[in-house]
Amino acid sequence: MNVSNSNSKTLSPDWITQGLIDFEYKKYMLLAYLQYTKKQFDEVKLYPTFSELLFHYNNLLQIKENKQILSESFPKKLSKADFEKLKLTYTSILKDDEMMQEIENVVEFALPKINASVNKGKQIYDWINQNLEIVPVGITPIYFREGYLFLGTDDKLGNNLTNTIQIYKYKVTLFERADDSEILRGINFQHFNTITKSAFQTYENLKIDLIKNDRNLPNPATFLMQAKIICSLENSILPIAKRRLVEYLAILEKK
């Protein structure tokens, strides 16, 4: 079956019920997508692929456990229009037992395939996370929900692999869950500058330069995060660095 026109770089949220509902068509659509995700992971490009895989895997589990969700995900066909009252009545096209069986076959085929890719993504995530180290630069003020992050890379011997340092301004925002069960933390990163650090500069000196150039934060919380590996900054290191900084600041708050 020819699926060359399908976009292998992504799967729509309702790919199971979108378009032709045929096991062979859905299988090749999925395999083309997983081939693309493998290529991304082989290049150590984790995001957004990893997030998408987690979404699809959880969505498939929900479909398997709750067929009502599957029913609601089907497109609706207009059956009657009441133009006077501006009311539209829709009839679900989900009436065919053979169609349901076809979808269940797709779900059973897709779950282990996507799960294997998710596990590969988790391995890459853990590898990157284990090779990120974070330390404060200078004295950390009492208020540290806003400040700066220096992001650089070293190898495991401590040899600087690049003298290019990315500087980000960050700001943490707290959210309460609707049931007040816990506080959620979000973080906003804004790229502030890219600098070339000389061997004679210290990170404390760089922090002093930041204070001189940004009077809005007279004593900013500043942290250095070193990535002891080389991989994509935008697709791998930076998304994990954001999560790591949020976790680090949450620990500081408890002290």
Q: HEC states along 23-87?
A: HHHHHHHHHHHHHHHHHHHHCCCCCCHHHHHHHHHHHHHHHHHCHHHHHHHCCEEEEEEECCCCE
Q: What is the pLDDT of residues 190-212, one digit of tens each?
A: 999 888 888 788 899 899 988 88
The pLDDT of residue 90: 39
Residues 119 and 139 in one domain: no
Does some domain include residue 8?
Answer: no
Please determine, for residue 5, whether its predicted confidence score (pLDDT) is greater than 50.
no
The pLDDT of residue 249: 92
Q: What is the pLDDT of residues 65-98, one digit of tens each?
A: 776 556 666 665 555 554 444 444 434 555 556 7
160 vs 152: CA distance, rounded Å: 9
Report percent pLDDT > 70 for the chain: 78
Q: Which of 94, 110, 129 is the last residue of a domain?
A: 129
Residues 139 and 242 in one domain: yes
Does some domain include residue 3?
Answer: no
Confidence of residue 157 (pLDDT cuts 50, 70, 90): very low
Residues 43 and 83 in one domain: yes
The domain total for the chain is 2
Does some domain include residue 4?
Answer: no
Q: Which of 94, 129, 164 is the last residue of a domain?
A: 129
Residues 208 and 197 in one domain: yes
Residues 65 and 89 in one domain: yes
Q: What is the pLDDT of residues 209-246, one digit of tens each?
A: 888 877 777 789 999 999 888 888 999 999 999 999 99
Are 220 and 210 a contacting pair, CB within 8 Å?
yes
Residues 142 and 96 in one domain: no
Please determine, for residue 181, whether its predicted confidence score (pLDDT) is greater than 80.
no
Residues 154 and 214 in one domain: yes
The pLDDT of residue 184: 74
Question: What average pLDDT does range 107-117 have in this prediction?
Answer: 96
Domain around 75: 23-129
Residues 109 and 223 in one domain: no
Q: What is the pLDDT of residues 165-179, one digit of tens each?
A: 899 999 998 776 655
Q: Which of 99, 129, 159 is the last residue of a domain?
A: 129
Does some domain include residue 33?
Answer: yes
Residues 74 and 166 in one domain: no
Residues 135 and 250 in one domain: yes
Does some domain include residue 197?
Answer: yes
H-assigned helices in the chain = 23-42, 49-65, 67-73, 97-130, 203-213, 238-254
Residues 174 and 105 in one domain: no
Does some domain include residue 143?
Answer: yes
Q: Distance of CA 173 to CAs 20, 27, 185, 218, 249, Å?
A: 43, 42, 6, 20, 12
The pLDDT of residue 211: 85
Residues 196 and 207 in one domain: yes
The pLDDT of residue 10: 85
